[in-house]
Amino acid sequence: KAGVTQTPRYLIKTRGQQVTLSCSPISGHRSVSWYQQTPGQGLQFLFEYFSETQRNKGNFPGRFSGRQFSNSRSEMNVSTLELGDSALYLCASSLQGAGNTEAFFGQGTRLTVV
């Protein structure tokens, strides 16, 4: 079966712009979570959605937001981009949420802010 698909794979944006990243989970998975990966901070949890409801949010500023659609696809948005937002953004899907069921990761979107 198809895995987790993240689009686009690479993005270059300018400071102050906003960006939207997309994640299509494995068919049948209703939980989608997002992580930011940077060399300095490692992998940090952004938020998790299940059936269109955000169930948990990490310690990130309000510039980071997300949503989930009825087909379980998810988007995350970062407004007013800063240089420090440059990172690999990873999406993970699971049946019921990490910890309860296995999380499968996409290949990530590499965001570069210049």
Partner 1 sequence: GDSVTQMEGPVTLSEEAFLTINCTYTATGYPSLFWYVQYPGEGLQLLLKATKADDKGSNKGFEATYRKETTSFHLEKGSVQVSDSAVYFCALSYSGDSSYKLIFGSGTRLLVRP
User: Does 21 interact with partner 1 (rule: CB under 8 A)?
Assistant: no
Stretch 61-80 residues interacting with partner 1 (CB under 8 A): none
**Residues facing residue 48 across a β-bridge:** 33, 56
**From candidates 76, 78, 81, 90, binder to partner 1 by CB under 8 A:** 90
Phi and psi, residue 84, nearest 5°: -70, -10
- Among 2, 8, 3, smallest CA distance to 75 is for 8
Q: For the residues of 73-95, what is the DSSP string, one character each?
A: -EEEEE-S--GGG-EEEEEEEES
User: Does 27 interact with partner 1 (rule: CB under 8 A)?
Assistant: no
User: Does 55 interact with partner 1 (rule: CB under 8 A)?
Assistant: yes
**Residues facing residue 20 across a β-bridge:** 77
The interface region with partner 1, picked from 14-22, 55-63, 64-72, 75-83 by CB under 8 A, is 55-63
User: Which residues would be at the binding site for partner 1 (CB under 8 A)?
Assistant: 4, 6, 31, 33, 35, 42-43, 45, 48, 50, 55-56, 58, 90, 92, 97-100, 102-108
